[in-house]
Structure 1
Amino acid sequence: MLQIELDDGRVVAGQAVRELPLERGEGRERLYFTANRDLDGHVWHWLPVDAIVASERPPDLVVLERRRHGQFIGRLIAVADAGVTPNHEPQQAAWDSLQARLAALEQLRSERERLRREVVRPLIRRLDANPGDTDARRALAEANERVRALQEAMRGEFAVLESVDGQRLLQPLDEILRAWQPNAMSLPQKLAAWAGGVWRFLAEGPRDGNTAGGVWPAIFGTVLMVMLMSLLVTPFGVLAAVYLNEVAHQGRLTNLVRISVRNLAGVPSIVYGVFGLGVFVYGIGGSLDEWFFSDTLPSPTFGTGGLLWASLTLALLTLPVVIVATEEGLARIPVEQREGALALGATRFETLSRVVLPMAVPAMLTGVILAVARAAGEVAPLLLVGVAKLAPQVPVDGEFPFLHLERKFMHLGYHIYDTAFHGSDVQAAMPLVYATALLLVLVILVLNLTAIFLRHYFRVRHGVQPRP
């Protein structure tokens, strides 16, 4: 973290991001991330390189990650309780006090979130199902009182901060998430901090308008949606391919159906999204609400976008891929295999189920691999059938029926789109966009490698040779 002195006397602290030539005249200018939005009104500064007269890395510079206003870069003066006049403490003593109090606050914060997750939310759902449950209402009041007590215990302490240009700031400690001194860290400490940042990115939810925090709900939603889509599309695609290749009379009508299936693979994905919105969400979902959830109307339960409708829409989108791949695999199985089974006394069903289909499993998995690769990256249909900008609660929990198909969910692809184009600070969101895009590629790679491993296993088991 640099502290820079300019030729006009200004002092700025921040991190260099990139450098470009000046639009007019000779020279170059450098973009610095300087944080301190609540003090300066903005967090980015373009500084002419020729105007920099001194640059150093002071070890006492402190970086704070806060819930509001983003990061702070400056110096720590003291840590004190509310109502107490703070004294200027030695730098190391103030730093040790800050770390100890932040650790205690993190424990209180974890306990508060545990109460909300394990006690308050189940009791609220219990009261929604039975409003007359007095025991649940009493327990909910007690749990809310415990949550309020924890919140009060987290308040009342603040840090006295000072920016490099001399501005003072009183920062409540409960608004600080983490604090570190980048210029005083050793290489092992920097590696540990980097690993901790990667873990928080993978395990935490987004915050600050999706420009900070992690992407765990989006990872979970993407993987769960792809798994549900695969479970839905595989049986229907295999059955359709088996019917077209093994059961149906091979004539003009069958050929016309094959051509139609191949044409469906080229339909724009947004068309499937409109179809899913009209048929699945408003049609089937609206009917389910009228039949089973009339008490909650006009607030919809299944008559709005959700995980189930998104999975069905993408299953319909990828169905032609699975049909074509499976039918190609069935067509490559030698006729002698079928004739040999029939000659040994097997029925047509036994030949199909015990000889033909096991040999076609690699082709089926090829179709599933292609379907997963396409579905995991689709965003346009999801805009209409269930994806959400922010859904921190994943659709799986300990409450019956455990998997809540009616809930909205987050998706890595949509998270990239929303963060890159709808954020208030696109420049600050760029690292998050790049990291999320890389993560989406890795998730698709892991899903595909799993299917490829299964395909190889079935090929070896049934002695199927790969197509040259």
Structure 2
Amino acid sequence: MKQWVRQFMASGELFIWGCGAGLSLSLLMIGGLLALILMNGFGYFWPADLVELTLKDGKHVIGQLAGEEIGPKGIPRIRVKIGNRDLYGLDYRWINTDQITERAQPSDLVMVERREWGNFYGRLLTITKEDQSVAEGAEAVWQSLPALIRQAGGSEEESLYTVLVADANGREKSIGLSQVVRVLRPNNLSTWEKLWVYGGNVWMVLTTEPREANTEGGIFPAIFGTVMMVLIMSLIVTPFGVIGALYLREYARQGIIVRTVRIAVNNLAGVPSIVFGVFGLGFFVYGVGGTIDALWFSDRLPTPTFGTGGILWASLTLALLTVPVVIVATEEGLAAVPREYREGSIGLGATKWETIWKVVLPTALPGILTGLILAMARAAGEVAPLMLTGVVKLAPAMPIDWTWPFLHLDRKFMHLGFHIYDVGFQSPNVEAAKPMVYVTTLVLILVVVLLNLTGIVLRNRMRRKYAGSAV
């Protein structure tokens, strides 16, 4: 028995099975996390039916079912999104099932999506203009609303139109049509109509600006800021990383100094990101930006132009953060280029620089793109350095617009990662913010995947082009 145990341990199978089990556990955890994000993220856009609950005390509750569980005393209870935040002060409510006497889904229940205070769930009563009735009764109001909402379009000019609605217990609320985004009757929608609304919800989130402390509306500024920052960072980090790797691999005399530099580069990759953020704040923002303001924007002081956080300084900080990744990957790519390629080029009369430019770099390009892909993936998810160098909760203007010089690198920007942090941990209404956290997380994952896929496609094309190399 002991001999069998010794043989088993010596064979290494225990470690193989251990590694396999660890890998399987890691994949299951990642898969479970992604499944949770996908389920909650995509589920956010579905127009759920409205249910009206009648309780034992005679009161009514209107809302969307949002889950169920066993309560503290072993009594099943359901979670209902009741909306009407301005009336009730909360968005969700737990109700014990033993307190419910009746459940119904009346066709006249409406969801009023508002620019403030979240959704309103209830029934339509009247439409008025300057205290004069325009339409009365649920059906008449329902028929008149779409055209009036399109006319209002969020402008103050049409705010004279108001719609009177009532909650589950008849409590009335007057809503100006300029504050109404749309009105739906979810219980009357067919499956195809719900799919159409679902697509509209996705489009709205991806193309509009946030509202209600970032808990509602869209996240387009955050998507734009994330992609633009990653692209600027890539344009900065790639030449510096490639030049550094070229010097270390092709020009520097291999010795103690070069080995020390390589160790320093590898250690730099392990420095906490917040340290880079502090460096970026001190050097780029206050040092470089303050000097630029003193030389060229002195008439605007003490209001800073470049001496405060902006997308340029954030991109430079992340470029400094990710340059070790690019250097290491580029060196590996250069080392994989066969020595015969260099010797053959020089033997045909090319200079060393011509050999590097026309033979070595094109052949090592897949390795360089690998480093860039890893750098983009890390930069897209970093938040801590950005909080010190330019990211904000809500940017007043985009870094690109139609105002000269069109590209404004001094402006602050929004970022998907910081949006998740802000909505999830700084929101005054955590319950209402939770769905937006999942949506933003899902979009961030998709953005990172799309950026990486773009780099992978380019890398594979380079590999096919230089298939004769050993890369």
TM (norm. structure 1) is 0.88
Deviation of the 1:427 alpha carbon: 1.3
Q: Secondary structure at the match of 2:224?
A: helix
| 1:3 alignment partner, one of 47, 52, 55 | 52
Deviation of the 1:465 alpha carbon: 5.2
Distance 1:342 1:8 in 2: 92
Q: Secondary structure at the match of 2:136?
A: coil
Distance 2:99 2:168 in 1: 18
How is 1:33-182 mapped onto 2 (pairs within 5 angstroms)? 33-84=81-132, 86=133, 89-106=136-153, 109=154, 151=156, 153-182=157-186
Distance 1:240 1:455 in 2: 21
Distance 1:397 1:463 in 2: 43
Deviation of the 1:463 alpha carbon: 2.2
Aligned residues: 422
Change (3 A) 1:370 1:88: closer
Distance 1:77 1:417 in 2: 40
Distance 2:126 2:158 in 1: 18
| 2:227 alignment partner, one of 217, 223, 226 | 223
Which stretch has the larger CA shift, 92-101 or 50-59?
92-101
Tell me which residue corresponds to 2:198.
194
Distance 2:89 2:415 in 1: 32
Distance 2:466 2:94 in 1: 64
Distance 1:348 1:68 in 2: 65
TM (norm. structure 2) is 0.88
Letter in 1 for 2:84: N
Distance 2:445 2:87 in 1: 39
Deviation of the 1:82 alpha carbon: 1.5
Q: Secondary structure at the match of 2:307?
A: coil
Distance 1:44 1:378 in 2: 32
Query: Aligned pair 1:357/2:406, yes or no?
Result: no
Please tell me the root mean square deviation across aligned C-alpha atoms, in Å: 1.3
Tell me which residue corresponds to 2:65.
16
Distance 1:429 1:272 in 2: 30
Distance 1:303 1:392 in 2: 18
Letter in 1 for 2:150: A
- Please say if residues 62 and 168 of structure 2, whose CA atoms lie closer than 8 Å, have aligned partners that are also in contact: yes
Deviation of the 1:348 alpha carbon: 1.0
- Please say if residues 154 and 174 of structure 1, whose CA atoms lie closer than 8 Å, have aligned partners that are also in contact: yes
Deviation of the 1:464 alpha carbon: 5.2
- Please say if residues 215 and 436 of structure 2, whose CA atoms lie closer than 8 Å, have aligned partners that are also in contact: yes
Tell me which residue corresponds to 2:331.
327
Change (3 A) 1:196 1:87: closer
- Please say if residues 393 and 422 of structure 2, whose CA atoms lie closer than 8 Å, have aligned partners that are also in contact: yes
Distance 2:189 2:323 in 1: 53
Deviation of the 1:392 alpha carbon: 4.9
Tell me which residue corresponds to 1:115.
none
Q: Secondary structure at the match of 1:229?
A: helix
Deviation of the 1:466 alpha carbon: 6.6
Distance 1:206 1:13 in 2: 26
Tell me which residue corresponds to 2:74.
26
Q: Secondary structure at the match of 1:390?
A: coil
Segments of 5+ residues of structure 2 without an aligned counterpart are 1-49
The Cα offsets for residues 37-91 of structure 1, whole Å up to 9 and x where unpaired, read as: 222222221110111110010000011111222111000011111222x487242
Tell me which residue corresponds to 1:369.
373
Q: Secondary structure at the match of 2:124?
A: strand
Q: Secondary structure at the match of 1:250?
A: coil
- Please say if residues 424 and 434 of structure 2, whose CA atoms lie closer than 8 Å, have aligned partners that are also in contact: yes
Tell me which residue corresponds to 1:127.
none
- Please say if residues 135 and 144 of structure 2, whose CA atoms lie closer than 8 Å, have aligned partners that are also in contact: no
The Cα offsets for residues 190-217 of structure 1, whole Å up to 9 and x where unpaired, read as: 1111111110000001111011010000
Letter in 2 for 1:105: A
Distance 1:89 1:299 in 2: 55
Q: Secondary structure at the match of 2:302?
A: coil
Deviation of the 1:26 alpha carbon: 2.6
Tell me which residue corresponds to 1:289.
293
Distance 2:388 2:134 in 1: 57
Change (3 A) 1:465 1:47: farther
Q: Secondary structure at the match of 2:288?
A: helix
Letter in 2 for 1:16: L
Q: Secondary structure at the match of 1:35?
A: coil
Letter in 1 for 2:139: Q
How is 1:416-427 mapped onto 2 (pairs within 5 angstroms)? 416-427=420-431
Same amino acid, percent of matched pairs: 51
Distance 2:418 2:123 in 1: 38
Q: Secondary structure at the match of 2:381?
A: coil
